Structure 1
Amino acid sequence: MVNCCGLLTATKEPVPLKSVDVEVTVRDHVATVAATLLYENKEQSPIEAVFVFPLPGDAAVCHFSAKIGQSEVVAEVREKQKAREEYDDALTRGQQAFLLEESEKSPDVFSLSVGSLPPGESASIRLEYVTELAVQADDGLRFCLPAVLNPRYQPLGSDGGAGTISFGPGTSVPASLVPYSLSLCASVCSPRPITKVESNCSLDPVQYLNQQQTQAAVKLAAGHKFDRDVELLLYYKDSHLPTAVVEAGCASAKPGSLMGDPVVMVSLYPEFPPAVMSLMTKSGEFLFVIDRSGSMSSPMSNADSSQIRIDSAKETLLLLLKSLPIGCYFNIYSFGSSYTHIFPQSVVYSQQTMDEALKVIEDLRADMGGTEILEPLKHIFKQPCIPSQPRQLFVFTDGEVSNTKAVIDVVKRNSGSHRCFSFGIGGGASTALINGLAKEGRGHAQFIAGADRMQSKVMQSLRFALQPAVVDISVTWDVPAGVSVTTLTPPITNLFQGQRSLIYAQLTGEGSGDAEGCVTVKYSLAEHPTQNQLNFSLKPTEDTGLTAHRLGARTLIRSLEVEANEPGVLSDQVKAKEKVVEVSVQSGVSSSLTAFIAVNKGNGEALQGPLLRRNVPAPRMKMGRISGRMAQMAMPIIGCSSAMAPDMALSANRVPMPSKGLFCKKKKVLAGSNIMAHSLCAGMVEMDSADYEDPQDLAIPAPRDPMLQLISLQRASGSWLLESALAAVFGRTLKDVEGATPVSVSPEVWATVLAVIWLHGFNNDAQEEWEFLAMKAVSWLHGEKVPCMTECVEAGNVLLGCQVQESSMGISFLDV
């Protein structure tokens, strides 16, 4: 009989993990993370504890050790199969052993095995990794500690069959059932002042450690509930300044080796000429790929008011469609256990095709079962590209798949024909998948969770997609004689205005103490040759913890892993795998082909008694808002050899999901109005036909989100029609709006001017969301050659109660 003392799982099994303490040290744009996991065996027999948990997909795990009593065992990196054999042999001998390994299918999932922990014994496990901080749309640097491990859907035909959880049995439970605590403290150091620190979790007040505010300390408030990943957003003054750090090699490593030589880490922020940036492209094939698996019915966060993921995605699709330039091509794909597309092939963007797409978007639900993203991507890449229409791929997913590397691989193989912009939706989205899609697809990645608005982040990516393509990128080094440079970073394939590019390189040879080097990035932008240059001192910086070396090694390892999996000559694949193991062992950085192994031989006495396996559960986001019984049916069961993923469970039970988003169907719409627009009016009072026989005299209640209502009414050309639904957004009757029309101004021009004024006057803080559709409106007005534009704007300001200037609207030049 199991002794049910101490921490327990949902199945009453003891949980040996008591707490997780995390220390984060941020230096400029790189974080070093040390996690201490405290285990305690309160049972009568020795146990093996297995903990599967997420880490950032680009993290370089560089240290693993265990402290038992007063003795400490530091793990070493071995080839994975050898490490497993050594671990099994140690358990057979009754010795304590510790094994840390990365998933072979997804680099953001790790497994930690603590073997032969004696009765009454405690063990403190220390895990360290380094990671780069991603740059966000508002120039903040994002650190994320993944705390949520959602079940990953395993595609049909892969090992284990569809719907199984690929990373092991019984490894995730709802946040409320997690039986151990988490604490986190962070210290931040920057060469520039830290302007603010934000988080999606409760923090204790930020403490600045010096007068210059270049150092700060922050701590996670007590009582973290494990219902979300822990996210810190750091803001520095002048964060776009390029930097270069030369890090001294390890004194004990062999000179000429990666760890023995200095490594330079260069952070570049390309600045494009303003004249070129004004040449926003008006062409392209825009393909929107939407996850409609069952997990997309979950909320963005566990807050009661949180929007459902699929509803947020639908609102974003509406905004994207309205913002596309006239003359481009587009199509929309949905995927789950299968995939569909609105049009057989991409179509020209017009009023007709936009209306067809919006009708389909209105009915999108999270009802397509599993998460099989690979097949729709393969289908897209088989389609011929349209001449003079660069392909731009926008992928929206909550990232809960197991075949991450296969998905990223197909994007990489086709990267010459497209750019991929990826969006991770909700807590627990796979960082490896989202970042990998963007990196290999020459695009940009965004994560949307908690209270984040998807629309603003997506529109930044659309801005990148509409930038002139950067081609012919090259990196050259100018260093003194006697010094050579070996670049560790793969060739740069994409550059965006104001976005960071990191380059790692090994410096071999000797230079004088005051010598300087120079790195130059050259590229062509809209047929304009351009270059960015950075000079830096070759004098190494001491006491950096080998951060640059480990991140450089991780970058090199990732490139070699891709080579090892590429189809081709078998001997080349074998050489690439051997090189992965060599670099991983030499640098002490994890890879998919190696593992950390530590064995505590103790006093040589073998532990006695049967070894009990204990699976330590990781937290996961709660399911969509369904009944308690159905939610239980969808949960993995602790201790089972396999479990049905939530995606498959939802599909099999066909549970209808209530919609809390903007798309709430109505039985009736107002006469003469846009059907799509009025289906968006969530919360409007149902009216009988007799109530709106005369639409001109009817004041319509404003919808819950007037801005999205206004956007839904815009035509593909960029104009608005003068109709009751538009007047309702303004809080006016159609009769009032028509009566204020200036002389000699057409209703469509008047409606469009009012819409642009209203956006500037009442939604200026969301300008990044409506900027492109407003530009379309201004362009349309220019084509109409509007007379007396000044008088028109003045009349609009009077009607709407605004004071918007023509110059701020960008239409002052329209007076004729």
Structure 2
Amino acid sequence: MYLSRIHQLFSRDLKRFGGWQYWLLFRCLPMLVFTALSIMILASTSAQAEDYLDDVASGQMLLREEGEDYQPAPTQSTKVDLVVTGMLATVTVEQEFHNAGADWVEGVYAFPLPEDAAVRRLEMLIGERRIVGKIRERKEAKRVYQQALKQGKKAVLVEQQRPNLFTNRVANIAPGEKITVRLEYVQSVEHRSGRFSLRLPTTITPRYMPGIETETANQDMNENVAVTPSHGWAWPTDQVTDAHLISPLQYFAQGSDSAPLNRIKISARLDMGMPLASIESPYHEIALSRRAGVYSVKLAQGSAEMDRDFVLQWSAASGSLPGAAFFTERVDDQYYGLLMLVPPASQRAAETVPREIVFVIDTSGSMGGVSIKQAKGSLTRALRHLGPNDRFNVIEFNSSHRALFQHAVPASHHNLQLASEYVRHLEASGGTEMMPALQLALKLPGAQDELRPEPALRQVIFITDGAVGNESALFEQIVDSLGGSRLFTVGIGSAPNAWFMRKAAEYGRGTFTYIGDVAEVGEKMDALFLNLTRPVATHLNVDWPDGVDVWPARTPDLYAGEPLLIAVKLGDELPIDGLKIQGLLGETEWSTKLQFPAALNPLSMNNSEGVATLWARKNIEGLIDEKYRGKSEDWVRQRVLPLALKHSLLSPYTSFVAVEEVVSRSESEAAKSKPLPNTRPQGQSPQFFAYPNTATTAAANIWLGSFLLLIALFIIAIRERGADA
């Protein structure tokens, strides 16, 4: 009855006014309703905050809990000092937390570090007081911290959520008080194609959380606990049980010309023991000085916004780089070593072989802004490198996935034109459902006929920012489905998930390439394809003495120009006969030998601090990798935990905790927990995404709400007409 009445009214008015007015009404009404509601909400919020904004200093952040007034949030600044000696870097990170409000607070801050960082020291500085942290089993560290928080003692807890993502909790910061947390870690210097580099991530790209939301999380090794994502935007899901811990709040930077909100100061000292030809930072302006062969670097402006990775690159003067080098450290009468091996580049052009190359491009919401331009530029550049004997396909994915062709097609002029036009129209939107696209890309080709023989080489090139929370499931998929393929990852954006990208390439027996700026697309994609066509260093073997503990345990194959770093525990003496290294470069035999003068005279050994720490870190990483090859969680934990405790290293099973025994806050004064947002990566568009694929998108909610409001208006109109009648 009511539907019939609505239809009559609608038909009568449509005839009276014409159809175009109603078309305009239905097209514009949702946006008009949304705009009106937004203005009402902003007006309400502004009225509530008006009394507070008058007294807020420039750049200060306000937080408001439900039912409470706006309060200044604890502010945070970071200072980083890098000391590079040979192939090792010792890095000190200082994070200062300042409570500008009137309440006692707990500061909670999620922060990134390099994926290969071996975090080995924690200190808490309160004025002139210094409290040294201790490494403990993860559950025990959390219990100690929560007890200190409850008792009113100052405390710090640092936990690893991912190898490149950590959480720092600082308990009982008094009003107006500053507390500094100092972390120290060791990492290896990367070397590729004659260039050394270090990368320091400063912010976090929001990760997509696939699965169905839950109210409990398996965050403490098989212990289900109720959670509230008060310090992040995501709830745990059945696929990402710690989503609430890896989804920190974020805000926009004000721009490069304004004062940084999350500011960072960076200084570096390079002591390579050889003359350097160049030093540069592609994404920041730096000031450089040199004294007695040691190079000093700092930010030209003193500080910068934490909205992009800091990368420092340098190259040695011509002829200064050895083909192999060995760095040693003696700790507790035990020798540890780090072997750096750079196979010589082939002087002969590689024989062209037929290839099947599958390009996978991420077009999800996290790729919005500059990132999608970089990704499209990278793929367009890659298509130009295909030869007439190659076959290829393109897979696009966001909330769903789609292949351009049903199967790999010849790289003909026509097919390449179709692919280029397809790439040109790609846009970023939706979630990051990576698993189906990865499964499709790694799926082995079907039966081949005589006209389409099996390719000699199958390569998958994955172009993404890696903004996903289900990394472990993806690693397992790669290990299970790789077959004879090779997986190469191309990291896009100013703050990609480099740990996922690097490990995915490692499991895929490929390499990882990072592109942080559109201007780098040509150079880096050209270098990637040059390596894809050059001979591979295979059957590498190091003649280690008996009884040594080597990581990685199996020497991997290398692409020409790629670095190799092997960490080893040698025991109580150095090998007197040195080390012999041999392998095949293409079809040519290659070998070299390293001697150790210190084996005959230990006093002459040049001690390289951090080698032992790096060995333990690589050992832990190798043991954790066994989970993706079928080992149980308990098997891995029983081996990693004692190793991490012995070497005082942060790991998935250990945390750092520091507690000041003096009670600072009385029990009558409550402490509120305040999250400290990260700065959104530079160039990234707003992220109205990261919901599970079963959730309704924000756009759908807007249109649904507008439609329901429209129905309500019709009902009101019907009742008014009835009343008038």
The answer to whether residue 374 in structure 2 is matched with residue 294 in structure 1 is: no
Aligned to 1:509: 572
Provide the residue aligned with 1:179 in structure 2: 261
RMSD: 3.3
CA distance in 1, matches of 2:202, 2:421: 38
Task: Classify 1:653/1:64 alpha carbon distance in 2 versus 1 (closer, same or farther; 3 Å).
Answer: farther
Q: What is residue 595 of structure 1 aligned with on the other side?
A: 655
1:250 aligns with 2:360: no
Contact 2:119 2:184 (8 Å CA) reproduced: yes
Paired position in structure 2 for 1:19:
77
Within 5 A, what are the aligned runs for 1:562-711? 562-568=625-631, 570=632, 573-602=633-662, 608-622=668-682, 631=686, 634=688
Counterpart secondary structure, 1:86: helix
Quickly say closer, same or farther: Cα 1:541–1:552, change in 2 above 3 A: farther
Match of 1:794 in 2: none
1:94 is aligned to 152
Q: 1:560 corresponds to which residue?
A: 623
The answer to whether the 8 Å contact 1:282/1:325 transfers is: no
* Paired residues of 2:73 and 2:101 also in contact (CA < 8 A): no
Gaps of 5+ in 2: 1-47, 64-69, 215-235, 447-452, 704-725
Higher strand share: 2
Is 1:421–1:441's contact at 8 Å kept on the other side of the alignment?
A: yes
1:269 is matched with 342
Name the residue aligned to 2:487: 420
- CA distance in 1 between counterparts of 2:534 and 2:507 reads 19
| Correspondence for 1:221 | 301
Q: 1:420/1:352 Cα in 2 relative to 1: closer, same or farther (>3 Å)?
A: same
Q: Which residue does the alignment assign to 2:710? A: none
Match for residue 137 of structure 2 among 66, 76, 79: 79
* Residues 207 and 217, structure 1, Cα contact 8 Å, conserved in 2: yes
Structure 1 segment 115-134 matched on structure 2, within 5 A: 115-134=171-190
**Count of equivalent residues:** 608
C-alpha deviation, 1:289, in angstroms: 0.8
User: Is 1:191 equivalent to 2:273 in the alignment?
Assistant: yes
Residue 214 of structure 1 and its aligned partner are, at CA, apart by: 4.7
**1:8 lines up with 2:86 in the alignment:** no
The 3-state SS of whatever aligns with 1:156 is: coil
Query: Residue 142 of structure 1 aligns to which amino acid in structure 2?
Result: S
From 421, 432, 448, the counterpart of 1:371: 432
- Residues 264 and 634 (structure 1 numbering): CA distance in 2 closer, same or farther, change over 3 Å? same
SS for the counterpart of 1:583 is helix
Residue of structure 2 in register with 1:492 after alignment = 555
Q: 1:440 to 1:348 in 2, by over 3 A?
A: same
Alpha-carbon separation, structure 1, partners of 2:696 and 2:554: 38
Equivalent residue, structure 2, for 1:358: 420
Instruction: Please state whether the residue corresponding to 1:205 is helix, strand or coil.
Output: strand
Deviation at 1:117, TM superposition (A): 2.2
CA displacement at 1:403 relative to structure 2: 1.9
Compute the displacement of 1:21 (Å): 1.3
Give the structure, 1 or 2, with the largest relative contact order (CA under 8 Å, sep 6 or more). Answer: 2
* Deviation, structure 1 residue 605: 8.0
CA shift in 2, pair 1:136/1:174, >3 Å: farther
d(CA) in 2 for partners of 1:119, 1:75: 24
Separation (CA, whole Å) in 2 of partners of 1:172 and 1:510: 51
Q: Distance in 2 between matches of 1:607 and 1:59?
A: 38
d(CA) in 2 for partners of 1:93, 1:278: 69
SS in 2 for 1:452: helix
- The alpha-carbon deviation at position 75 of structure 1 amounts to 1.4
Measure how far apart 1:324 and its partner are.
1.4
The whole-number CA distance in structure 2 between the counterparts of 1:327 and 1:454 is 25
Give the alignment's TM-score, normalised by structure 1: 0.68
Q: Distance between the aligned counterparts of 2:549 and 2:458, measured in 1?
A: 33
Residues 1:551 and 2:614 are matched in the alignment: yes
Give, as a single letter, the amino acid of the residue that structure 2 aligns with 1:199. S
Structure 2 vs 1, CA of residues 168 and 431 (structure 1 numbering), >3 Å: closer, same or farther? closer
How many percent identity over aligned positions? 24
Q: 1:145 aligns with which of 197, 200, 204?
A: 200
- Whether 2:399 is the aligned partner of 1:326: answer no
- How far is 1:383 from its partner? 2.5
Aligned CA distance change for structure 1 residues 611 and 529 (closer, same or farther; 3 Å) = same
Q: How far apart are the structure 2 equivalents of 1:577 and 1:333?
A: 38
Q: Which one-letter code corresponds to 1:327 in the other structure?
A: N
Given candidates 493, 514, 519, the residue that maps to 1:447 is 514
Cα 1:204/1:396, change in 2 over 3 Å? closer
Preserved CA contact (<8 Å) 1:79 1:594: yes
Contact 1:312 1:454 in 2 (8 A): yes
Once the two structures are superposed, residues 320-340 of structure 1 have per-residue CA deviations (whole angstroms, 9 ceiling, x without a partner) of 223212222211111111111
Contact 1:148 1:618 in 2 (8 A): yes
Equivalent-residue separation in structure 1 for 2:696 and 2:496 (angstroms): 14
Report the Cα offset of residue 18 of structure 1: 4.1
Residue 24 of structure 1 and its aligned partner are, at CA, apart by 0.9
Equivalent residue in structure 1 for 2:211, among 156, 159, 167: 156
Query: What does residue 401 of structure 1 align with?
Result: 468
**How far, CA to CA, are the matches of 2:342 and 2:130 in structure 1?**
43
Instruction: Report the alpha carbon displacement of residue 427 of structure 1 after superposing the two structures with TM.
Output: 0.4
Q: Distance in 2 between matches of 1:264 and 1:384?
A: 43
SS in structure 1 opposite 2:101? coil
Given that 2:465 and 2:493 are in contact with CA atoms closer than 8 Å, whether structure 1 keeps it comes out as yes
Match of 2:310 in 1: 230
Amino acid at match of 1:551: L
Q: TM-score, normalised by structure 2?
A: 0.76
